[in-house]
Structure 1
Amino acid sequence: MAGKAKIAIEQLSWNNAKPAPIVLVSGAEGFLADRATQRIREILRDADASLEVSDLDASSYVPGELLTLASPSLFGEPRLIRVSDVEKCNDEFLLEMLDYAESPDPDTTVVLRHGGGVRGKKLLDTLRAGTGGAVEIVCAELKSDNDKFDFAGNEFRIAGRKIAPSALRSLVQAFSGSGSELANACQQLIADADGDITDRTVEDYYGG
């Protein structure tokens, strides 16, 4: 039985996402992947407002699309290419992305969203081995209550807001079935609630 491929690249959490020539956004938690991709776009946009943003679907990829979008433009604007459904990629995308990874364009950031599964494994193994100067953003599913508690607590810390531990537990219990709904609930409290967030605050917003 073959061992797992060695991972030689930097692996980051979604909230530490950063640009690189190729960014592999892996894992089943889609809303965290969206957050990571948005953060990369904001960093690139802050660095240069002329950023060109393009989207590709790896499952319906047409040969030549990647090279066309990554080609240097007349005015030299930086480019962000967001590629969805890499876990469903067709053979044409796989071949061209493997070729592109050998010599990525220095002014282009390619974000590859892979939700899991074995399709595209050769590409993932190639990137994880260090080809293309890639980094990986790991967006694992928030399965346990502890995972969700840590995530929700981090949402309030990032926003500079205080929430009582018991209120945080109540919030997590109210939205234990969905990480994305929990994230939305945290953001609503951060945006709408005044002062420190208590059990009463959570009860007023989400009781029942």
Structure 2
Amino acid sequence: MPRGSSSRSRGGGRGRPGPAGLPWTEAVPGPVVLVTGTERLLGERAVARVTALAREQHADLEVTTLDAAAHSPGALDAVASPSLFGEERLAVVTGVEAPGEGFEAEVLRYLAAPADDVVLVLRHAGGQRGKKVLDAARAVPGAVVVDCPPVKRDDEKIAFVGAEVGAARRRISAPAARALVDAVGSDLRELAASCAQLVADTSGTVEVEDVQRYYGGRVEATGFRVADAVVAGHRGEALALVRQAVSTGLDPVPIVAVLALRLRQMALVAGTQGREEDVARALGMQPWMVGRTRRELRGWSPAALGAGVVVLAEADEAVKGGGRDPVYALERAVLALCASHER
């Protein structure tokens, strides 16, 4: 069967590539499925979803996984060569962002005339390398583009928790979702595992009490608790929480990141007026976050916020290798921020 022919339909619909691509929840098989972005969990889920849908359409689907970083010449050609028995095939190629020698030329040759009985899934985990491959994949007629950007903002993490619990046909209250994010942190894989545990071990709507029961010990010493104490100017509490967090294995880097996030939110909200709902919509925040931030701003002058941003920029460099002692740099930043609040 010659490449480029379309005598067979895969079914299941074609993706809408578009500039922004699809979320992983809408990924479908296509002649080429390009999964981009640094959020590894979502990338894995996109690949798994495409594979599952392809299996539903073709029970005899042959699935092969290749690693572009450890590319062997001819490996892709071998997978995509005409099948003796006519079965549909799916090839997942990981590591497209760091390809081995010869991979780019081989995949570009394939993308110029894709086989009609192969679903080629290319996983590119971000970075500047592989642009020719990305452009060529997007240009394939019927190509499916799936974006898996990093989930960084609090509201995105909370929405992720709600979706995870909702996928299990359960509900979680907004305060409980926030408490879980505070407790577990920003690692999406760990958040997903925590949601699964709560769903398995509780009944009805997941409430704050449920989160406290399973993760209360961690909540007490997370970067978010440190940030709460710092923005309130509670120097002793903030320092104690930092030391407790570090003693339980929490790295100074995410604590500084959370502090920086909180100050950025405060700086954004400081220049706004109007209803919380309107401000939240304009800034991409939740209304309750705007209300909380406005209350926190009562203890901060514009000069203090500006000084705090400088302090955290210096601390960020120090905890990432620019200083001799990351813990000392973090404690120094916490004390300086609390002093700014007091002034």
Judge same fold: TM > 0.5, yes or no.
yes
Partner of 2:180: 171
Q: Is the 8 A contact 2:31 2:142 kept in 1?
A: yes
Q: 1:46 to 1:196 in 2, by over 3 A?
A: same
Partner of 1:24: 34
Alpha-carbon distance in structure 2 between the residues aligned to 1:97 and 1:190: 42
The reply to whether residue 13 of structure 1 matches residue 19 of structure 2 is no
Alpha-carbon distance in structure 2 between the residues aligned to 1:133 and 1:85: 23
Can you list the C-alpha shifts for 1:108-144, whole angstroms capped at 9, x where unaligned?
Answer: 111111111111111112223x225321110101111
Q: Which runs of 4+ in 1 moved over 6 A?
A: none
Which letter does structure 2 place at the counterpart of 1:41? T
Which has the larger share of helix?
2
67, 84, 96: which is aligned to 2:106?
A: 96
Q: Is the 8 A contact 1:13 1:137 kept in 2?
A: yes
- Higher mean alpha-carbon deviation, 29-38 vs 64-73, is at 64-73
Can you list the C-alpha shifts for 1:167-208, whole angstroms capped at 9, x where unaligned?
Answer: 111111112231111111112222332222111111122221
Alpha-carbon distance in structure 2 between the residues aligned to 1:26 and 1:180: 18
Shift of 1:48: 1.7
Which letter does structure 2 place at the counterpart of 1:158? A
Partner of 1:54: 64
Which ranges of structure 2 fall in alignment gaps of 5 or more residues? 1-16, 218-343
TM-score where L is the length of structure 1 = 0.90
* Structure with higher RCO (Cα < 8 A, 6+ apart): 1
Which letter does structure 2 place at the counterpart of 1:154? A
Partner of 1:123: 133
Q: Aligned-residue CA RMSD in angstroms? A: 1.6
Partner of 2:7: none
Partner of 2:284: none
- Higher mean alpha-carbon deviation, 176-185 vs 32-41, is at 176-185
Alpha-carbon distance in structure 1 between the residues aligned to 2:173 and 2:159: 13
The reply to whether residue 150 of structure 1 matches residue 159 of structure 2 is yes
- Higher mean alpha-carbon deviation, 38-47 vs 188-197, is at 188-197
Which letter does structure 1 place at the counterpart of 2:125? G
Alpha-carbon distance in structure 1 between the residues aligned to 2:76 and 2:20: 24
Which ranges of structure 1 fall in alignment gaps of 5 or more residues? 1-6
TM-score where L is the length of structure 2 = 0.56
Work out the percentage of aligned pairs sharing the same amino acid: 44
Shift of 1:160: 1.6
Q: 1:44 to 1:191 in 2, by over 3 A?
A: farther
